[in-house]
Structure 1
């Protein structure tokens, strides 16, 4: 039961961060990228299936891949949780 409750809380936080990221993408300061990346990182750690789908999505959408790579570089070692999750889903170069 605790595992299910933890999973639901993690998913709720992830989707809340993603929604905040989408809203803040419209602001003049690129804060939305960080919220979006944080939400994706929580989803990646919650589910391996989500991680593989995000990797495939990043392969198809190079613009989003560049934005996530930019966030990953900006965060660096400051927020290892997000940068490690983004590195996990980085597409393999051709």
Structure 2
């Protein structure tokens, strides 16, 4: 499965849906991981940490949403993200 993690865009949200360690675990189990550049910065994880475990870092959230079979986020998708979700795509996030 191709797992994608876009950068969180909700105001005051600094966490990431996928840490480098979690990305490494997914990759070790045969999955591919793509993350938007800067996705982990607010939580202290630079892009280099994701690349070091084998994740691909892409420039835009659109590329993550276009390519990923599953989207992993912390917060619910915001309006600009909801329009990028597609039928059959899995969304793993907190909804509250």
TM-score by length of 1: 0.29
User: Considering only CA atoms, is the larger Rg found in Structure 1 or Structure 2?
Assistant: 1
Structure 1 or 2: more strand by fraction: 2
TM-score by length of 2: 0.29
Structure 1 or 2: more helix by fraction: 1
